[in-house]
Structure 1
Amino acid sequence: MIATTTAVPILHLHQEENKPCADLLPVPVLEDYDISPITGFVPHDQPLPRLLQAYFQPWEETMDQLNHLIDSRQLRSKVDQWPVLDVAQLTTLRERQRAYVILSFVAHSYIWGSGLDISQHIPEPLAVPWVAVSDILDIAPVLTYASNDLWNWKLKDPKGPFELENLETLSTMTGTKDEDWFDIVSTAIEIAAGPAFKALIDSIHAVREDNIRTVVENLHLAHVQLDKISKLLPRMFENCDPAVFYWKIRKYLAGSEGTAGLGLFNGLQYNGVGVNKNERRYYMGATAGQSSVFPALDYFFGVTHHELDHNTNTKTAPNALLLKMRGFMPAPHRAFLDHLAQTANLRPFVLSKTATDPESQDVQELIKIYDACVHCIKLFRDNHIQIVTRYILTQAKRGPPEGWEDYRVKIEDQPPVVAKVEEEKPKTTGKVEEEECVGMKGTGGSDLMPFLKGNRDETNAAKIISPVKK
């Protein structure tokens, strides 16, 4: 089943918190799920930069000229003339991922890349292979976080480190340095998580052996990487201008679900697909919520996210949007999360030790490093709220810079667009800005600020010692 919300095992969330997790399943092995202990959910062998078979050159030639074809309004006529290629010619996982990246980028450029003329369909030479390769990969035929960030990067120096300064994207839709930086910061965050996951998997083994010292040592190793992650996101401001992101980049991330306000009125028609050969589909757009990093960290540290019942002001079922986003992750990563949900044992272990021997020096160190790791996740979510405020809320209120009308984002439920702001307004407090953002939608369809604030607050609440006030 492609990109559907499935029942995700959350067994450890319902256990008594003062008892370690039962050893019912073997501990996950990262490599079994296409996860690297070095680069995490992005391929350590690097994404394939090009399909070398001559058969697929019509696709690659279009990617070579993508920015020019978009700017000159020639992309649609180019793609309309493609032959309908058979994805059975793709024989390796990386080839299929590369094909998925190409077709996702071309499709979203075809839909959104001609100013205010939004295409309500994609042609058969694009739709048929896109759906076919998506079916093989078990992922939705839409631009996802996987196609935009996990499988769309390379090392500038192939012998250099997997660090932000040595990373760049393979492709962008706007051709701007801002889009390259926006994507590659996310990729760097993914890579930084790799060694943390190795340490946290080792901590599961140590918990099963009741080895508190080894648990503490592995949490210290994880904390180093989580600290890096919390500091990487603010680097977005270095080379991605908020105006460029909001008015030029953001529309390309939109999917076909809930996008009537953007001009895609009734989903997207996939020509040549389905029984009637013109199937209409609805998918959420690419969003960082489709990253597997933070659901995995939530499982490791026992952070739970629930729906808020506004009638009773109580939290009830698991957060439906987070579960829905899981359907847009690569299939092996979804399977990893399912497995991890049933084997994560760190929080019950820490609570058990806290209850039985709270004065022990080892237990005190365990609590301290556990809370420090959770705090890094909380800080990341703080920074995410700041990013959303500057890159979305502020820009929506200002309106497009002069001459950028073709890049307008017409979201029906955003605050009214006002005239271009010539001078900076006085800075407001973060709390005021957050409140003003209520009602705005993310590219994944979430009510941005309540969703992000809820995730942050639930993370802070997972600390063992009384949570630090925001």
Structure 2
Amino acid sequence: MVNTPIPRLEDYSISATTGFLPDIAPLTTLEDLYYAPWETAVSNLQPLLLSKKIRTVVEKLPVLSTERLKTEPEWRRAYVILSFLSHSYIWGDKTPSETLPPSLSVPYLAVSAKLEVPPVASYAAVCLWNFRPIFTEDPFDCLDNLATLHTFTGALDESWFYLVSVAIEGRGAAILPLMISALRNARDDKLDHVISQLQLFAERLGELSSLLGRMYENCDPHIFYSRIRPYLAGSKNMAEAGLPCGIKYLDGSGTEVFRQYSGGSNAQSSLIQAFDIFLGIEHRPTGEKKIERSQEESLSAQESKTHNFIVVSAIPTPNNQISVFTKLLLKEMRSYMPGPHRRFLEHLSKISNIRAYVEQHSSSGALTVAYDACLHMLRSFRDKHIQIVSRYIILPAKEQRIVTGERLGSRQKSATLLSSSGPLLHSHQVQLKGIAQSSKHKSDLRGTGGTALIPFLKQARDETGEPSIGAWARRLLTNSRIAPAGRDAESIKIQGLAGQWLDSEDVGGICHW
């Protein structure tokens, strides 16, 4: 590890000022008129979806070559356009399409290969490369200065959902140079510098939590759950939604096979994964307990464990049954990141030395407090995310189950009265179809790749505190949170343009990391 050089951000298409976001705002249009058919279609996306004409229009598009895309921003722009058009084509009618026509699939596969990302509406497509600053002189980390280039619904709620993540990426960019400097100073044993950089790291993490909390202001949970979430779905574990095999990307060869990809997820953000790597946080398969160091050494000869990570959008499990949730490998989530960003994380994993350095200098109270503060702030960030998932996914799903049950009971009662003159109504006739349907059980809720939501998120949060050094911090960060005496969660309300609700993990409170 000592001989491995410290990574340089610029070598991995990462900016010291904008982080994993482009250092120049994404293109708003492809100027070459050759690509005008794509631009025209995506600029009319909402009316095409509303009129159910999206598939007719897409099927009439010419199969355009990607050879006229010259710059990186142009390739990224093409990827954003094709992602929005493809997901609109797949999910934009009563039943999903199992095939993608050559007019989209041929250039989509070429663009995805160039950018080293899968042909799916990934986090890069809907967040990293899908924004513009309202005032160009202001930084990308100012949420009130951001606008989306494209949405599926045209709703403010959808724009806000993406832009909160964009602002977090922009605000978190300043942490990346701190991380690089801390790694270098730890290698050079410059204790005071490491302490200072960890303190700044913790402060910045607090700012990210504040940005995440702003999700409530302009994104309504019910609009997110029923209108936005369906378009973000991928083609993996989608049998219940109507895609039992995935998607065929037709290219005219006649030899196409079904492909399956996870849908867009903040788990595909490189930023939080970089924080985990830097701080030495390890994630285990859901439900697996921490292995003590002595046990870990005895298992060192075995194959490396698989690691789960977190997703944002919830999808019911097939047949509404409690199932064994598919584990998303950490490496699989990295495959949805742009290639240079993925390679940065791999490089960072090889040289990360902060946890070991803090353990070696545990006699320094200032160092251990600074390190434990970083863990605390990242754990708090994940706490806030659990509240958001509860409010935007768990509660709408529960409400939908209640409404569906009431409708079913009412219709079955009516059908019983009419049974002498007609057949009895079957339950599937009153259930919502496709990706927007709800499951019967809270535990059935999955992410876009098929992962259990709340168990996943809570374990990831708890694992965040496990590397803590100080005894007091270890107790604080690894035990369940206890509500302060006299605090009544029912009395604390959050208000915003998107609505009002109670601030309680059990009853509410969105999005992943």
Change (3 A) 1:464 1:45: same
The equivalent of 1:182 in structure 2 is 161
Residue 63 (structure 1) aligned to one of 38, 42, 45: 42
Give the equivalent residue in structure 2 for 1:348: 356
1:382-421 counterparts in 2 under 5 A?
A: 382-399=383-400, 410=434, 414-416=438-440
Q: Distance in 1 between matches of 2:168 and 2:259?
A: 31
Q: Does structure 2 conserve the Cα–Cα contact (< 8 Å) formed by 1:289 and 1:444?
A: no
| Partner SS state of residue 214, structure 2 | helix
Are the structure 2 counterparts of residues 103 and 408 from structure 1 closer, same or farther at C-alpha, using a change threshold of 3 Å? farther
Structure 2 counterpart of 1:334: 342
CA contact (8 A) 2:375 2:464 kept: yes
Deviation for aligned residue 1:290:
0.9
- Per-residue displacement from partner, 1:375-399 (whole Å, max 9, x unpaired)? 1111111111111111111111112
Assess if the C-alpha contact under 8 Å between 1:144 and 1:287 holds in 2: yes
Q: Distance in 1 between matches of 2:114 and 2:83?
A: 15
Which ranges of 4 or more aligned residues in structure 1 deviate by more than 6 Å? Answer: none
Per-residue Cα deviation, 1:91-128 (whole angstroms, up to 9, x for no partner)? 111111110110000000111122x2211211111110
Return the letter of the residue paired with 2:217: E
Residues in 1 aligned to 2:431 and 2:339: alpha-carbon distance in whole angstroms: 34
Residue deviations 1:247-288 (CA, integer Å, cap 9, x gap): 000011111110111122321111116x53533211111111
**In the TM superposition, what is the alpha-carbon distance from 1:65 to its structure 2 partner?**
0.8
Specify the code of the residue in structure 2 equivalent to 1:209.
Answer: D
2-side partners of 1:467 and 1:82: how far apart? 60
- Structure-1 residue corresponding to 2:443: 438
Distance 1:366 1:406, change over 3 A: farther
> Residue 445 of structure 1: CA displacement?
2.1
* Letter matched to residue 124 of structure 1: P
Alpha-carbon distance, 1:407 to partner = 12
Q: Aligned residue for 1:428?
A: none
Structure 2 residue 131 is the aligned partner of structure 1 residue 160: no
The verdict on how the C-alpha distance between 1:467 and 1:37 changes in structure 2, with shifts beyond 3 A counting, is: farther
Maintained 8 Å contact 1:152/1:169: yes
3-state secondary structure, aligned to 1:55: helix
Deviations along 1:44-86, one digit per CA (max 9) or x if unpaired, are 2111111110111100111111111111111111111111111
The answer to whether 1:464 aligns with 2:469 is: yes
8 Å CA contact 2:286, 2:459 repeated in 1 = no
Q: 1:264 aligned to 222, 238, 243, which one? A: 243
- Count how many residue pairs are aligned between Structure 1 and Structure 2: 418
- TM-score w.r.t. the length of structure 1 is 0.85
Q: Are residues 158 and 407 of structure 1, via their aligned partners in 2, closer, same or farther at CA, if it must alter by over 3 Å? A: farther
Structure 1, 449-458 or 316-325: larger mean CA deviation = 316-325
**Is 1:117 paired with 2:141?**
no
Residue 309 of structure 1, CA deviation: 6.7
**Residue of structure 2 equivalent to 1:295:** 273
1:306 lines up with 2:311 in the alignment: no
CA distance in 2, matches of 1:28, 1:409: 48
Match for residue 99 of structure 1 among 71, 78, 83: 78
Contact 1:261 1:412 in 2 (8 A): no
Tell me the distance in 2 between the aligned counterparts of 1:407 and 1:99: 37
Taking the aligned partners of 1:88 and 1:279, their CA distance within structure 2 comes to: 25
**Is 2:317 aligned against 1:317?**
no
In structure 2, give the amino acid aligned to 1:168: A
What's the Cα RMSD here?
2.3
Change in CA separation of 1:460 and 1:243 when aligned onto 2, cut-off 3 Å: same
Q: Output the amino acid matched with 1:286.
A: G
> Corresponding residue for 2:504?
none
SS at match of 2:468: coil
CA distance in 2, matches of 1:241, 1:217: 39
Q: 1:441 to 1:88 in 2, by over 3 A?
A: same
Cα distance in 2, alignment partners of residues 246 and 408 from structure 1:
13
Identify the residue that residue 499 of structure 2 maps to in structure 1.
Answer: none
2-structure distance, mates of 1:140, 1:108:
13
Secondary structure, counterpart of 1:89 in structure 2: coil
Q: 2:150 aligns with which of 162, 165, 171?
A: 171
Q: For the Cα contact (< 8 Å) 1:286–1:444, is it kept in 2?
A: no
1:154 aligned counterpart, secondary structure: strand
Q: Is the 8 Å Cα contact of residues 121 and 232 (structure 2) preserved in structure 1?
A: yes
Classify 1:467/1:188 alpha carbon distance in 2 versus 1 (closer, same or farther; 3 Å). farther
What is the aligned counterpart of 1:191 among 163, 170, 173?
170
Partners of 1:172 and 1:140 lie apart in 2 by 20
Counterpart residue number, 1:19: none
Q: 1:380 to 1:70 in 2, by over 3 A?
A: same
Q: Does the CA-based 8 Å contact 1:251-1:409 persist in structure 2?
A: no
Whole-angstrom CA distance in 2 between matches of 1:407 and 1:91: 48
Q: Residue 256 of structure 2 corresponds to which residue in structure 1?
A: 278
Indicate whether 1:132 and 2:126 are aligned.
no
Higher alpha-carbon Rg:
2
Higher mean C-alpha deviation, range 37-46 or range 436-445? 436-445
Deviations 1:179-220 (A, max 9, x none): 000000011111111101111111111111100111112122
Q: TM-score, normalization: structure 2?
A: 0.78
Shift of 1:294: 1.3
Distance change (3 Å), C-alpha of 1:24 and 1:327: same
- CA distance 1:199–1:233, change in 2 (3 Å): same
Tell me the CA shift for residue 437 of structure 1: 3.7
Q: Is the 8 A contact 1:269 1:280 kept in 2?
A: yes
Cα distance change on mapping 1:379 and 1:88 into 2, 3 Å: same
Note the 1:68-83 alignment, pairs <5 A.
Answer: 68-83=47-62
Amino acid of the structure 1 residue aligned with 2:167: A
Distance 1:177 1:409, change over 3 A: farther
Alignment partner of 1:202 is 2:210: no
Contact 2:230–2:436 (CA under 8 A) maintained in structure 1:
no
SS at match of 1:381: helix
In 2: Cα distance, 1:299 partner to 1:313 partner: 17
Amino acid at match of 1:193: G
Secondary structure of 1:140 counterpart: coil
